[in-house]
A = this chain, B = another copy of it.
Amino acid sequence: MAYSTIQIGILGCAEIARKVSRAILLSQTATLCAVGSRSIEKAQKFAADNGFPATAKVYGSYEEVLDDPNVDAVYVPLPTSLHIKWAVLAAQKKKHLLLEKPVGLNVEEVDVILAACEANGVQFMDGTMWMHHPRTAKMREFLSDAKQFGELKSVNTCFTFTADQNFLENDIRVKPDLDGLGALGDVGWYCVRGILWAADYELPKSVIALRNPVFNKAGVIISCGASLLWEDGKVGTFHCSFLTNMTMDLTAVGTKGTLHIHDFIIPFEEKKASFISAVECGFKELALGWVPKPSEHTVTTDIPQEALMVREFCKLVGSIKNEGAKPEKKWPTLSRKTTLVLDAVKASIEKGFEAVEIVS
């Protein structure tokens, strides 16, 4: 039995919405059915520039998208401080929700959003695209392989990029009233998600911020880092920044294996991506070299990770809409865990780099 594609509306015309509009088209499981902006002209231009079909509705407000009975789901790339209002309203209007990260300014906001989604039976998913790349699944296989990787003991992640002067002065991610989490919520979100992913989403016991956060004049974090510690002695460290060259490293070290990746968030190329694995490495006689050497694995994908994200979201929405399934709890759970760790990093910075316990 064939169902119609999922009808997705977009709230706002953020830069990232262009990439996601393209992903919706590429996913072949969804239709760009509406876009709303506070400026209808902006919405019209956005629809025209981004491949919206002639049937798509263009609105001069976000409310109208939520009130459109044809809209199954909304993608919300608004500034973080607006998430709680519009995400909750979307859920109340029974719209499934693909929400950009960071999901909220703190876990209390995230809980309000997730509770609204649960109460209204709508699917929630955040916009962490790399979770959906087939490479991520391949790397997970490696990390889960007791014979190849063994037990995770240490993981380090780094996501930085050099923001230009315009970004540092004007981007919403450096404005306390728009994205108060700054670099921690933007690039740090991925670092923390990467560490949690490597730890199979087990929450750390405590978090200690590194003692070199950088703030802008408005007090927003533009560079920081932390160490995360688990009960069993596992440790994670990360560094995130708007002030250094684009770097996206993840290194996970297990008792038997090691995983290296240099582009874990956005692959160097769209259709193929690689990672390096090393298993039970030792030295040649006299330690003159390694046996075996690490090996590179390439994973190809017909459509990019963001289109696979849309496809996964639409699969879940379709199951609810057409088959009466319940929303998948995995995605809201991951968003909440990521936020709990970000909150602890922020709290540790505020408390003078004390250890902050994670209470879930």
Q: Interface on A for B, CB 8 Å cutoff?
A: 18-19, 22, 150, 153-154, 156, 158, 160-162, 206, 208, 210-212, 214, 223, 225, 227, 229, 233-235, 237, 239, 241, 243-247, 249, 251, 253-258, 260, 262-263, 266-270, 276, 278-283, 286-290, 293-294, 304, 355
Contacts and interface: CB of A to CB of B under 8 A. Distances in A.
A269 B257 contact: no
A237 B290 CA distance: 25
Contact of A246 (B234, B249, B281, B288): B281
Query: What does DSSP make chain A's interface, helix, strand, loop or mixed?
Result: strand
Contact of A211 (B227, B288, B290, B304): B227
Given A245-B254, A245-B278, 8 more contacts: A19-B287, A150-B244, A227-B227, A244-B254, A244-B255, A249-B251, A266-B290, A268-B294
* Copies of chain A in the complex: 2
A237 B211 CA distance: 12
Contacts of A233: 212, 214, 223
Contacts of A212: 229, 233-235
A289 B267 contact: yes
A270 B256 CA distance: 24
The 4 closest A-B pairs by CB, nearest first: A246-B281, A247-B258, A212-B233, A19-B286
A165 B233 CA distance: 20
11 contacts: A18-B286, A154-B241, A154-B244, A210-B229, A210-B237, A212-B229, A214-B233, A235-B239, A239-B253, A243-B255, A268-B289
A167 B247 CA distance: 37
Contacts of A227: 210-211, 225, 227, 237
A263 to B, nearest CB: 7
Contacts of A241: 153-154, 253
